[in-house]
A and B are shown apart, each in its own frame.
Chain A
Amino acid sequence: GAVVSQHPSWVICKSGTSVKIECRSLDFQATTMFWYRQFPKQSLMLMATSNEGSKATYEQGVEKDKFLINHASLTLSTLTVTSAHPEDSSFYICSARPGQGGIGNQPQHFGDGTRLSIL
């Protein structure tokens, strides 16, 4: 089945550091990938839609300059949390869907998530 790989699984770093998270679709091409954030005991909140070869689409309230997204190939999207602070500590999860956007019955396949802790 479709597999999405996310790296790293855990990051602990000092405040002010920039952190890059990678999301790869291993056995399918994904023109679109999605980045979510999840705080403890809360649901997944969509941060942005990553579009291959073009700018990401950010959800309302998500800072574009804070969360930089690059989708340079059909199998890789990256999320960079710039100048991270303790309030950015969260569980970040990426997902991708096989096939083109608009195919409703293709489930999103999730990476294993990245637990980010900013000291």
Chain B
Amino acid sequence: GQNIDQPTEMTATEGAIVQINCTYQTSGFNGLFWYQQHAGEAPTFLSYNVLDGLEEKGRFSSFLSRSKGYSYLLLKELQMKDSASYLCAVSTYSSASKIIFGSGTRLSIRP
């Protein structure tokens, strides 16, 4: 089976840095995604990691350690609009390469 764990809620201050962790256990690992979802809206793609290491994209960075089954999403220079849920999702080598989502982390940014 598959299991994806991430914290339920986090709070951070505007302008600061926050790290959202994700651990996973899955067979046939084929990459890890991070998505952002604002309330009432569909998820939007943030990042993809399949090899170990850090991928940087503007204010957002994502890290992967395949041996540890661990990833994190790092958000810098936080803005109020970053208040959202952040979903860790794992892709697998199935016939359709389906993506399974974690429960999501609700991030609240305070002024």
Interface residues in chain A, defined as those with a beta carbon under 8 Å from any beta carbon in chain B: 32, 34, 36, 41-46, 49, 51, 57, 91, 93, 95, 97, 101-105, 107-113, 115
Please indicate the chain B residues that have their CB under 8 angstroms from the CB of A109 in the complex.
Answer: 45
Which of B50, B85, B94 is within 8 Å of A105, CB to CB?
B50
Question: What's the least CB distance linking A108 to chain B, in Å?
Answer: 6
Interface residues in chain B, defined as those with a beta carbon under 8 Å from any beta carbon in chain A: 30-31, 33, 40-45, 48, 50, 85, 87, 91, 93-104, 106
Please indicate the chain A residues that have their CB under 8 angstroms from the CB of B85 in the complex.
Answer: 43
A44 to B40, CA, bound (A): 12
Q: A49-B98, A108-B45 are in contact. List 19 more A-B contacts (CB 8 A).
A: A32-B96, A34-B96, A42-B104, A43-B87, A44-B101, A45-B101, A46-B100, A57-B96, A95-B99, A101-B94, A101-B96, A101-B97, A102-B30, A102-B93, A104-B50, A104-B93, A105-B48, A112-B41, A112-B42
Can you name the residue of chain A whose Cβ is closest to the Cβ of B43? A110
Which of A44, A104, A108, A113 is within 8 Å of B30, CB to CB?
A104
